[in-house]
Amino acid sequence: MTYVRNLGLGLVAVAIVASGCSKSADPTSTAKQTGAEKESAPAKKEEHAPHGAGPNGGVVFDLGKHHAEFTVDHPKKECMILILGTDEKTPTPVATEELVLTTKETKTEDGTIVAPMTIKMLPKDGKEGKATTFVGTDPGIGNIADFDGTVLAMIDGKPSQGEFSESHGSAGHSHSHGADDALVWEGEPKIHSGTTIRLGHHGEQLRAGTEVEPAVSIERDGKPVSDAKVFNALVSADGKTVLASEVPTVYEPTTEDEPAHYAQGALAIPKDVNKVVIRFRIVLPNAAPVTYDVPVNVE
C-alpha cells in the first residue's frame, strides 16, 4: 500500500485508465458474447393455443411435426388416427408403414376396468407409399370409456411421437363438446310417460362423410332422468334405408357447459347425402318403448 501511495500522478492516471479498461466491456465483445449465450441457451418449447375439435369431432394432438386426430368407433371396436395439416382440419398424407398406438388403463362409467392396449394402426387410404388415415382394432375399444395414450411411428423417415388424452382434452374430444360441437335441439320437446324429452345432436353444422353424435335430454318434474336406455340410428330421408345401425348411448351428468343428456353414440353420415333422419329409441323404466324420427339437413 505504501508503494502505491508514492506513485506519481502520471502513473496513477495511467493505472486508473488501465483499470477502467479492464473492467469495461467492449460493446462489440459484449454483443458477440450475448449472441453466443443466446445460441447456446436451450431452445424453449414452442407453445400454442389448445387444440380444437378435429374434423371428425375427435381429440387433436401433436404427432412429431404434424397434427393428428384420434377417434373411436365403439361398435366396430375400432380406433382411427387421421393425420392433419397445420390448420388441424385438412387431411395430410405422410409416408409410414404403420403407427403403434398404446393406451393406458382406463374405466367405463360404471367402473369396469379397461386394460392397456397396444394396437397396430395400418393405412386405410394408402397411395404411392403415403396415407392420411390409419385404423386399428381391439376388443377393448368396444368399451365406452375415455382413452389416453401414446402414438409412435417413423413418419417421413423421422421418429415421431405424440400423446393424446380424451379424459383431459379441453376442446377436441370425441366424448366432450367444444364451442364448435354445441348441443342443438331439433323441434319441440316430446312428452312421454310423465317425462319431457328433447332430441337433437352435437354440432351446429352436420357434414356428409363425417360423424354425427345424437343427443337426448330426458327430464321428469324438471329433474334429469338418468336410468333410461337410449339408442340411436341413422336412416335415409325417406325412412326406408338404415344408413348407420343402432348403437347405445351413455348418460352424461350436468356440467358447467351442458345440461344432463344421453350421447356418445356417434353415427357415420354417408358422403352422398344432403338430408338424413336420426332415429331415437327410448326405453324408460316401467314404460313402453318409444321411437322418434328427427330429420336433419347435411352439408
Query: For the domain that residue 116 is a member of, what is the CATH number?
Result: 2.60.40
Which of 134, 165, 196 lies at the terminal end of a domain, its last residue? 165
**pLDDT tens, position by position, 168-221:** 643 444 444 444 568 899 999 999 999 999 999 998 889 899 999 999 999 999
For the segment 53-66, the average pLDDT, to the nearest whole number, is: 88
Do the domain assignments include residue 49?
A: no
pLDDT above 90 as % of the chain: 63
189 plus 293 within the same structural domain = yes
Could you tell me which residues are beta bridge partners of residue 187? none
Q: Provide the pLDDT confidence category of residue 51 given band limits of 50, 70 and 90.
A: low
Q: Provide the pLDDT confidence category of residue 254 given band limits of 50, 70 and 90.
A: confident
CA separation for the pair 286, 194 (Å, rounded)? 11
How many angstroms separate the most distant Cα atoms in the chain? Answer: 114
Judged against a pLDDT cut of 60, whether residue 27 lies above it is answered with no
Count of CB atoms situated within 10 Å of the CB of 280: 24
- Among 77, 294, 30, 58, residue whose Cα is nearest residue 166: 58
113 plus 195 within the same structural domain = no
Question: Among 45-49, 149-153, 277-281, where is mean pLDDT lowest?
Answer: 45-49
User: Side chain identity at 118, as an amino acid letter?
Assistant: T
Buried b (16+ CB within 10 A) or exposed e, 285-298: eeeeeeebebebeb
Judged against a pLDDT cut of 90, whether residue 121 lies above it is answered with yes
121 plus 198 within the same structural domain = no
Could you tell me which residues are beta bridge partners of residue 63? 66
Do the domain assignments include residue 286?
A: yes
Q: What are phi and psi of 93, to 5 degrees?
A: -70, 140
117 plus 79 within the same structural domain = yes
pLDDT value for 110 = 81
Number of compact structural domains in the chain:
2
Question: Among 9-23, 58-72, 147-161, 196-210, where is mean pLDDT lowest?
Answer: 9-23
Do the domain assignments include residue 36?
A: no
233 plus 142 within the same structural domain = no
CA separation for the pair 131, 288 (Å, rounded)? 48
161 plus 91 within the same structural domain = yes
Q: Provide the pLDDT confidence category of residue 52 given band limits of 50, 70 and 90.
A: low
Do the domain assignments include residue 103?
A: yes
204 plus 293 within the same structural domain = yes
CB contact set of 128 (below 8 Å; sequence gap of 6+): none
Q: Provide the pLDDT confidence category of residue 39 given band limits of 50, 70 and 90.
A: very low
Structural domain of residue 241, as residue ranges? 182-297
pLDDT value for 205 = 84
195 plus 151 within the same structural domain = no
121 plus 213 within the same structural domain = no
Query: For the domain that residue 209 is a member of, what is the CATH number?
Result: 2.60.40.2480
Do the domain assignments include residue 22?
A: no
Do the domain assignments include residue 248?
A: yes
Q: Please give the model's pTM, rounded to 2 decimal places.
A: 0.46
Judged against a pLDDT cut of 60, whether residue 108 lies above it is answered with yes
289 plus 187 within the same structural domain = yes
Do the domain assignments include residue 126?
A: yes
Alpha helices in the chain (DSSP H): 2-5, 9-23, 27-40
198 plus 285 within the same structural domain = yes
147 plus 191 within the same structural domain = no
For the segment 136-158, the average pLDDT, to the nearest whole number, is: 93
Which of 136, 165, 194 lies at the terminal end of a domain, its last residue? 165
Judged against a pLDDT cut of 50, whether residue 4 lies above it is answered with no
CA separation for the pair 285, 127 (Å, rounded)? 51
Do the domain assignments include residue 30?
A: no
- Among 216, 193, 222, residue whose Cα is nearest residue 294: 216
Judged against a pLDDT cut of 90, whether residue 40 lies above it is answered with no
